[in-house]
Amino acid sequence: MTDPVPLTERLQKLGLPFTVLSAVFVADTLHATLLTPALLYPIAVLVTVDIDDPAVPRLIAAVGSALTVIGRFVPRPEALPTIDLANRVMSVVALWATAALVLHMSRFQRKLRKGEAIAEQAQVLRVQTQQRLELSLHELHDMKFALDQSCIVSITDVTGAITYVNERFCDVSGYARDELLGQNHRMINSGLHTPDFFATLWNVVSHGGIWRGEVRNRSKYNTFWWADTTIVPVLEADGTPKQYVAIRSNITARKDVEERLRDQASLAKLGAMASVIAHEVRNPLAGVSGAMQVLRSRMAAESEEWMIIGDVLERVDQLNASLSDLLIYARPQPLHKAPTNLRQLLDDVVDASAADPRFAGVAITAEGSNSMCTVDANLVRGAVFNLALNAAQALKGRGRIRLIKECNGHNCTIRVQDDGPGIDKAVLERMFEPFFTTKSRGTGLGLSIVKRVVEQHGGEIRVECPATGGTVVHLVFPL
Ligand SMILES: Nc1ncnc2c1ncn2[C@@H]1O[C@H](COP(=O)(O)OP(=O)(O)OP(=O)(O)O)[C@@H](O)[C@H]1O
Ligand SMILES: [Mg+2]
């Protein structure tokens, strides 16, 4: 629909066509030739072609037709009535044909203008959409930047294969991006959580739910890091997940503090108990041992009584050793760290074991280059000796123990490796519990003490039973 054209504007537009009409009418009244000037009236219609008003060409054609008819009755000399009549009929026909042509052209022009307006509008819309898209992308980029700065982010596909990791994920896990992409998320599994734990997690996210929890992960350098984790599934239009976004924050420090506080609370209780034992049991035990030795010295050597007292003395020594372990465990000593040659430390353990009857029949060797690591040498030496003793006890007087030292840019590892029977799964799960032992004369504190010494150094202990047999205990000390 076109807007109605105001009357004044219409009159202005009529100026030129009417001038033409008037000129042709004057010429028509003056001349009478073979071609009458009335044939020129269509020019008046033609000049309306630019006037965007369909009424105008029709009006001019109507007025032109009327003037053509009027012109017929104006008396002129030498007029040939028949030719003049034919000319006028032609003029009227030409007038209305021209009007039809002009109307058609006007319509075509209008359509053209409409098309141009639509194209212009489309262009404006395109520019606006582009601007909005750029704005959204910019905002998205800002949000991603903020997320990457504050969180550890990874994305996996529905099979659990890693498709994206941010810089912080690489930093905390120790892996380069290339080492992670395409791998299954299981590669950072620390082995702490049960299969049920992960089954519940997958059950929640695979049904479109958001899972939150605290997860312990393993780094490339075999250290653990705890993460407060939120896993958000990204859903397809039909509601099925197409990928999972995991947003984590590192809570390792908090977890360490929590664990230390827990340990300290139970140690405080144990410490109080140990003090009582030390006073009430150890001192009388020393008296008993002394008295027994005096009695024994008065007996005939190799007599039955002499042998029995010898047995009692051995048990008293064992009890004393157990009490010493308990006191060491219950009252942790502060570390006295100093640069230590770990290879030398392993050699010391080999020398000490050579002089110890509990290592009889066992071949023990030290391996690795000389290199320095800042540790409490006495405590670490005691820990390695403890592990070597466990290995010797497992070997039952036959086999080989290797003490191996390896360092990389991040940490130093001491491996105590034996070719004994290995360790049952049930024992593996409990062996670090204080007082857990499978030996008739063990206190079950050996590994607990070793673990604490390593953790006091900020390191960690791991036990492996390779398929090829035997046991390997890793002590990892950060550099
Ligand atoms: N190298 C090993 N091979 C096989 N079993 C081992 C080995 N090291 C440790 N174990 C198992 O782990 C258990 C716990 O060891 P841990 O050193 O804490 O206590 P223990 O040796 O039994 O007693 P303690 O060291 O206090 O005298 C052992 O009883 C043993 O069953
Ligand atoms: Mg032991």
Which CATH number covers residue 187? 3.30.450.20
| Main-chain phi, psi angles of 397, to 5 degrees | 75, 15
CA–CA separation, 233 and 450 (whole Å): 42
pTM assigned to the model: 0.52
Q: What is the pLDDT of residue 78?
A: 61
When pLDDT is averaged across residues 348-376 and rounded to a whole number, the result is 93
The Å distance, Cα 442 to ligand 2 centre, comes to: 7
When pLDDT is averaged across residues 47-63 and rounded to a whole number, the result is 88
Across 148-164, b (16+ Cβ under 10 Å) vs e yields eeebbbbebeeeeebeb
Question: How many other β-carbons are positioned within 10 Å of the β-carbon of residue 390?
Answer: 23
Q: Residue 55's domain spans which residues? A: 7-122
CB 52 within 8 A of CB 2: yes
Q: Given 309, 330, 351, which residue is the final one in a domain?
A: 330
Point out the ligand 1 atom lying closest to the alpha carbon of residue 416: 1
Q: What is the pLDDT of residue 142?
A: 92
Output the CA–CA distances (angstroms, integers) from residue 466 to 414, 420, 423, 469, in the order listed: 17, 11, 10, 5
Q: Given 250, 274, 306, which residue is the final one in a domain?
A: 250
Domain-embedded: residue 96 = yes
- Inform me whether the pLDDT recorded for 2 exceeds 60: no
- Inform me whether the pLDDT recorded for 410 exceeds 90: no
Helix, strand, coil share (%) of the chain residues, nearest 5 = 55, 20, 25
Q: What is the pLDDT of residue 3?
A: 56
Point out the ligand 1 atom lying closest to the alpha carbon of residue 438: 29
Beta strand 362-367 with 399-407 is parallel
Ligand 1: which residue has its CA nearest to atom 31? 438
Point out the ligand 1 atom lying closest to the alpha carbon of residue 418: 1
Domain-embedded: residue 133 = no
Q: What is the pLDDT of residue 217?
A: 95
When pLDDT is averaged across residues 100-112 and rounded to a whole number, the result is 91
Q: What is the pLDDT of residue 261?
A: 85
Domain-embedded: residue 298 = yes
Q: What is the pLDDT of residue 4?
A: 60
158-192 tens-digit pLDDT: 999 999 999 999 999 999 999 999 999 999 998 88
Question: Average pLDDT over the chain, rounded to whole?
Answer: 89
Residues 105 and 237 in one domain: no
- Inform me whether the pLDDT recorded for 130 exceeds 90: yes
Residues 187 and 270 in one domain: no
446 CB under 6 A from ligand 1?
yes
Residues 218 and 345 in one domain: no
Domain-embedded: residue 144 = no
When pLDDT is averaged across residues 445-459 and rounded to a whole number, the result is 91
- Inform me whether the pLDDT recorded for 7 exceeds 80: no
